[in-house]
Chain A
């Protein structure tokens, strides 16, 4: 089962910043926080991941709370191409060592022109 909680949908205006929240209160010390997004009719696309410190890349920034029980994906200037479903995921590792991403329903982001 997904271990994260996200709002079902959010709306933004073009060229404005977007903050997408995620709660993961049961996170363990070794869980990485991953974000993926899925554009219509495409497979999910990796956005960013982090463990404890805030992370930046060319697509977005990831702000992780000090207690790691929540995080926020930040799109600095939303464009129409950022309209997608955004998934916040904790990487699941089994006792046997195999690992996988367990997706929830994500947040559907609508960007208004």
Chain B
């Protein structure tokens, strides 16, 4: 297993276009997270899946954002009608969690989105 994979690494899009990012977590990990990071800031939580269920969404996740994790494997994050303020690094992380343990998260290298 090569860790958490995110595609594409970079995306440049025009304002108003839709974009979709993909995250492939570590195969046995049942939890998957999306974060957003802007320059000089720590990552901000966006949403979280346990298997295929989306259990929590941040207030940062406006109506233009949607995330899915069909079959509890890979996940996609779509941003509709992109705005310049959406320019950021989008990070995906996965973890294996069950009652009684406290494992760390494994992050991907992120997708850097630039909206022009």
Residue numbers of A with Cβ under 8 A of B are: 2, 32, 34, 36, 41-46, 49, 51, 85, 87, 91, 94, 96, 98-106
Contacts and interface: CB of A to CB of B under 8 A. Distances in A.
Q: Interface size for chain B: under 10, 10 to 19, 20 to 34, or 35 or more residues?
A: 20 to 34
Nearest first, the 5 closest Cβ-Cβ pairs linking A and B are A43-B107, A103-B42, A46-B104, A98-B55, A98-B56
Interface in B63-116: 91, 93, 97, 102, 104-110
A72 to B, nearest CB: 19
Contact of B108 (A43, A46, A98): A43
A17 B43 CA distance: 27
Contacts, number: 56
Contacts of B105: 36, 44, 46, 101
Interface of B: 4, 33, 35, 40-45, 48, 50, 55-56, 91, 93, 97, 102, 104-110
Contacts of B33: 100-101
Contacts of A91: 102
A2 B42 contact: yes
Contacts of A43: 4, 91, 93, 107-110
A94 B40 CA distance: 27
B80 to A, nearest CB: 24
Nearest to A42: B109
25 contacts: A32-B102, A34-B104, A36-B104, A36-B105, A41-B109, A42-B110, A43-B107, A43-B109, A43-B110, A44-B43, A44-B107, A45-B107, A46-B104, A46-B105, A85-B42, A98-B48, A98-B50, A98-B55, A98-B56, A99-B97, A100-B45, A100-B56, A103-B43, A105-B42, A106-B42
